[in-house]
Structure 1
Amino acid sequence: MTQLAVSRKTQSLVVTPAVVAHRGASGYRPEHTLEGYRMAIRMGADDIELDLVATKDGVLVARHESEIGTTTDVADHPEFAHRLTTRTIDGVVLHGWFVEDFTLAELKTLAARERLATLRPDSAAYDGACGIPSFNEVLAMVGAESVLGGRSIGVMAELKHAAYFDSIGLPLDEMLLSDLRRHDLDHPRSRVTVMSFEPTVLRRLAHRTRVAVVQLLEAADKRPADLIAVGDPRTYADLCTREGLAWIDEYADGIGAHKSLVLPRDDSGAISTPSALVREAHRMWLTVHVWTLRRENRFLPLNLRRGAGPGAAGDLAAEAKAFLDAGVDGLITDHPDIVLDVLREADVLRSGGQGSRTA
């Protein structure tokens, strides 16, 4: 049955198991748009998840990453052609247009585009119809939707490329705290969670705010960019050990784990038995969210793929049930409606016919 849990560190209320809309209802609308976030909220998502990067004039905006050539129509704007460039971010060489080279006013002249247009043509039909929102706009919208729907909606905000933005004089944590205070959300019961793949910025924030903090964990063989920069050899697999989780427990309330860290795939590409990660994290009172659940075959384990082609809809519901059985506290998904149906069915079964989760 759906419950409201209280974080032992922040005293913030969290819905468990939670359905978190990854970049909004991004299976149906271009990601990181007010329209996508609003759609997810009205589907019934408990939280929306968004990635934050900084503009040239120091404003947080919602984009998956700093480079925006694939998620906006910037290439169609001749006035910005001279800003096409190449730079290295987190050790990766990228060619395109970058948020930090634009002011907020300039970004507001651009329109969002579907990043996975081949897989999601229905979403791509909305290309050009949605703008790029600032974090302030997202927080204002969530506040309005919370009042309209009569329920508190959570915001899980990921700071992207934090060490890189530090290096160019645009500290994301400073901007985040400023925006939260502007909306009176920098307190332990605000339903705001701040996340990052980089421990450094989270450790810094843990001493400055009491909103919930979640350490994101990539696939086991990868390494946090900030640790690489200082010569720390640890991988995400190292952070999943008891020692690594104890270190995370010093500053975080939970972890956001790549799916493979909780439900590894066997040699055939099918779901295997759960790892010990959820059990070990829960021993330390760390919550566990998993990412990212998507319905297209391309993203599903082999045994849950259905139909022909990578874009065909597979059995996302079965994958969601498998993660619930593994004991996770939150499911981060592009298709919140499908995962919500799974939670509602589980609520009904557990309550003997009357579920507790509302639409």
Structure 2
Amino acid sequence: MTPSKTPIAAAALAAALCLAGCSAPGGGATARLPTLDGQPPLVVAHRGASGYLPEETLEAYARAIDLGADYIEMDLVSTRDGVLITRHDPNLAISTDVASRPEFAARKKTIQVDGETQTGWFSNDFTLAEIQRLGAISTDAERPQQFNGQYKVPTFQQVIDLAKAKSRETGRTIGIYPETKNPTYFRDLGLPLEDKLIAMLEAAGWNSRGAPVFVQSFEPGSLKYMKGKGLKTKTVQLIDGDGIDLKTGAMTYAVPVDRPYEWTKAGDRRNFDVMVTPAGLAEIKTYADGIGPWKRYIVSTKGTIGADGKPVDVNRDGKINDADAVSTAPTTLVADAHKAGLFVHPFTFRNESRRLASDYKGDPANEYIVFYRLGVDGVFTDFTDTALAARGAWVKDMGR
């Protein structure tokens, strides 16, 4: 689906987005919320409270839970000895202090990960004991750096244990949202992720339809394999893209986020956008319960283009980013997915001004409200507290 290219004013957007769940004039009764199940959208802590602490650490997950997250989200990669750990990337240089550890200097190498050439240190070359000597670091230079190196890389089992312990402590169910990360990469190394994930959920008593678990992947084959091997939890097909053409608002595609890597390996040249067509959604429904699209498939952005044909640095900060763009009219993806019986959990919502279209006026709550009104069933966020505050305000406004 090509994102809509027509920018509209904030007032018009609000009117366009007042769906069936809006309050009736004069304070009349309100209809059900526009989510698939009529319930408030879930707040999923993307890699934990990653806006505040180094991501995918026990400390980040605990902070997100304390802030009120419904689910905590984690990416699973494998160690050399076959243990599932929570890292967004196999390349440990991105989110740990491995580069500063002289004892591991000789393990630095350049390899291909999902078709992308990367240089660094890779989880599959380290035992769990070695990885647990590393310290996690922030992956965003504009976020707090004072915690770098203080927290360790947890195992998936430790995160399961934390979620269960926090559920007992708080009296509310804390769900988990694991992703099989780079599953073809690890399968080719003889370190497949899927069977271990299923076994761990089974041991936790969480391999059931009603368990507080969503299992996600960018690769359909990983989800289909797990379903065939007895995974009973809700599953989510993730849908990515590389960027936005600010001239048109259209999605752009580039390695490694152009398509599921298993498609590339099989010679299938289609991009992720085929998944958001009615036919693509119908196919996803045969093996998954929902989709996790990059939010730009739902509301894109479009910049101001100068006489030279290039995007204009509208706020004159020396950088071209979302703050120099405006949001475009929403696509029909949420409605199309709901029609297909799929829930929609878009990613990733963040607070930084450089990541907010200018018409949100620097307030991330304005972006959440747009998506909540469209009927998304959950949001992946780096800032749990902001997502919850916006949800609370919206639900109250809906008379719920």
- TM above 0.5, yes or no, is yes
- The answer (yes or no) to whether the contact 2:47–2:73 under 8 Å persists in 1 is yes
In the other structure, the counterpart of 2:360 is 304
Q: Does 1:349 align with 2:349?
A: no
Counterpart of 1:37 in structure 2 is 61
**1:40-189 correspondence runs (5 A):** 40-117=64-141, 119-120=142-143, 123-189=144-210
Contact 1:177 1:186 in 2 (8 A): yes
- The residue that corresponds to 1:259 in the other structure is 295
Residue identity matched to 2:232:
R
- Cα distance in 2 for partners of 1:291, 1:103 equals 31
1:256 touches 1:291 (CA, 8 Å); kept in 2? yes
CA deviation profile, 1:88-112 (whole Å, cap 9, x unmatched): 0100000000001011111111111
1:200 to 216, 221, 227: 221
Rate the CA distance shift 1:15–1:54 in 2: closer, same or farther, 3 A.
farther
Matching residue's letter, 2:233:
V
Shift of 1:270: 1.1
Equivalence for 2:28: none
**How far apart are the structure 1 equivalents of 2:94 and 2:284?**
34
- How far residue 15 of structure 1 moved from its aligned partner, in angstroms, is 6.6
Would you say how many aligned residue pairs link Structure 1 and Structure 2?
A: 334
1:152-184 CA distance string (max 9 Å, x none): 111111111101111010111011112112212
| Aligned-pair Cα RMSD in Å | 1.8
Determine which of 197, 208, 232 is the counterpart of 1:210.
232
Structure 2 counterpart of 1:289, one-letter code: H
Q: Distance in 2 between matches of 1:15 and 1:105?
A: 43
| Alignment gaps of 5+ in structure 1 | 8-13, 306-313
Amino acid across the alignment from 1:329: D
Structure 1's 136 and 6: CA in aligned 2 closer, same or farther, altered over 3 A? farther
Task: Give me the whole-angstrom Cα distance separating, in 2, the residues matched to 1:254 and 1:114.
Answer: 30
Aligned to 1:236: 272
SS at match of 1:128: coil
Larger Rg, first or second structure (1 or 2)? 2
The structural deviation recorded for 1:298 is 2.3
The 3-state SS of whatever aligns with 2:348 is strand
Distance, in Å, in 2 between the alignment partners of 1:341 and 1:84 is 43
Amino acid at match of 1:342: A
Deviates more, 1:314-323 or 1:90-99: 314-323
TM-score, length basis structure 1: 0.89
In the other structure, the counterpart of 2:311 is none
- What CA distance in whole angstroms lies between the structure 1 residues aligned with 2:88 and 2:385? 22
Report Cα offsets for 1:298-326 as digits up to 9, x if no partner.
22223335xxxxxxxx3110010011111
Which structure 2 residues correspond to residues 274-353 of structure 1 after superposition, within 5 A? 274-304=330-360, 314-351=362-399
Give a deviation string over 1:258-294, Cα, whole Å, max 9, x none: 0110112234421111111111100111000110000
Q: Is the 2:181–2:217 contact (alpha carbons within 8 Å) kept by the matching residues of 1?
A: yes
Aligned partner letter, 1:300: L
Contact 1:22–1:49 (Cα < 8 Å) also in 2: yes
Secondary structure at 1:52's aligned position in 2? strand
Ranked by relative contact order (alpha carbons within 8 Å, sequence separation 6 or more), the top structure is: 2
| In structure 1, distance between residues paired with 2:194 and 2:40 | 27
Superposition deviation, residue 135 in structure 1: 0.2
Aligned equivalents of 1:343, 1:318: Cα separation in 2: 11
The normalised TM-score by structure 2 is: 0.80
- Whether the aligned pair in 2 keeps the contact of 1:15 and 1:46 (CA below 8 Å) is no
Alignment partner, residue 310 of structure 1: none
Query: SS of 2:301's equivalent?
Result: coil
Q: CA deviation at 1:129?
A: 1.4
1:273 to 304, 329, 334: 329
Range with bigger deviation, 219-228 or 57-66 = 219-228
**Identity between Structure 1 and Structure 2 (%):** 40
Provide runs of 4+ in structure 1 moved above 3 Å: none
Residues 25-81 of structure 1 deviation map (CA, whole Å, 9 limit, x = unaligned) = 100001001001111111111111111100001111000110011311112221111
